[in-house]
Amino acid sequence: MKKHAHRQPRLILSAIVFAAICATAHAGGRSSAAHPQGTPPAASPPIVTAAPEWPKDDAGLNALATTVIGKWFEALSRGDSAAIEAQLLPCAQLVAFDGVTDRTLSIARVKNSATHDVQVSGVVATRVGGALVTTCVVRAKQRVGGTEVNGEAPRIGVWVPFDGGWKIAAWASLQQPSTRPAPAAPAFAGETALASEGTAMLTKFLDAQRAKDLKPFDKMLAPGMQVVNFKGQKTRADLVKGASYATTEPATLHDVRTTRCGELTIVTCNLSMQQKIGFSTLPPDPAPFLAVFSGTGDAATVIALGNTNRPK
């Protein structure tokens, strides 16, 4: 594994900064009549829990990832919507075979789903700036809505330290039924300006891949970034190599949703993009897709990708 465990953070959702922003916004909204002139309001220091410490090496990162992933699946196995809520950031987006959900919909979805007999293996963790990027392979018995999705498939998650713990900013599961259904459009509203920004960022990335413009494509990939796709858990080097060999058709992005978590930009969509990789062909049918960027605009780099498409 590459030595990025000691990379200094470029993006951290600071609970202290978050609390300060909230406190400022709250103070700005107070009526001056509540405090007579000459009587300053009583100071109420925000309740903030110190950020957790980062592990010192790759072994520590993998141990941390194993812990947070285990905690996530424990909550899923119990059907514990409160525990799910506690582990998700407000900006979180989650991708599954049938589409994309936000935090609110994911919490509600737990009531209509079931997860049992979970076995997690192959945990790989990298630190990319202030984000913990994790991939793993999960074998489980699951029911999503009324659909059984048993078996084994990779997962990818992006976690950030927040309010004394680790919270999920993005999560993608490649677990799906034998016949992949057409994904539904997300049932949550998106912000138009953010969606346009996310569309431009993801389009730039996919266009460079399609054109085999490998130098700028390589620059768009952060050291330590990880990928999950139908071939399993992949790294930055795998993606660059794959782009050099693959034949990719122009992409069409449907139902784009973009959220911002500090310096993370999370872009999801139902992606239509036919691709031939060796003897495998990904169909042009729309499939849920996740991209997590560090930063915005031309300076943004990709830290995580989850592509749920697979050969028929």
- The pLDDT value recorded for residue 41 is 39
**d(Cα 269, Cα 22) in Å, to the nearest integer?**
30
Domain extent at residue 223: 192-307
Q: Which residue positions in the chain have pLDDT lower than 50?
A: 1-48
Within this chain, do residues 116 and 149 fall inside the same structural domain, yes or no? Answer: yes
Domain end call among 173, 204, 236: 173
Q: b/e string for 50-75 if b means 16 or more Cβ within 10 A? A: ebeebbeebeebbebbeebbeebbeb
3-state secondary structure of 288: strand
- The pLDDT value recorded for residue 20 is 36
Answer whether residue 36 is part of any domain: no
Domain containing 98 — which CATH number? Answer: 3.10.450.50
Within this chain, do residues 151 and 196 fall inside the same structural domain, yes or no? Answer: no
Domain count, the chain: 2
Within this chain, do residues 159 and 258 fall inside the same structural domain, yes or no? Answer: no
pLDDT digits (tens, 9 = 90+) for 155-186: 999 999 998 899 999 999 999 998 888 999 99
Answer whether residue 16 is part of any domain: no
- Whether pTM > 0.75 for this model: the answer is yes
Within this chain, do residues 261 and 303 fall inside the same structural domain, yes or no? Answer: yes
pLDDT digits (tens, 9 = 90+) for 268-282: 999 999 999 888 999
Residue 259's Cβ-count burial label (10 Å; 0-12, 13-18, 19+) is buried
Answer whether residue 102 is part of any domain: yes
pLDDT digits (tens, 9 = 90+) for 63-96: 999 999 999 999 999 999 999 999 999 999 999 9
CB half-sphere exposure, 306, CA atoms < 13 A:
32
- The pLDDT value recorded for residue 150 is 87
Within this chain, do residues 258 and 286 fall inside the same structural domain, yes or no? Answer: yes
- The pLDDT value recorded for residue 145 is 77
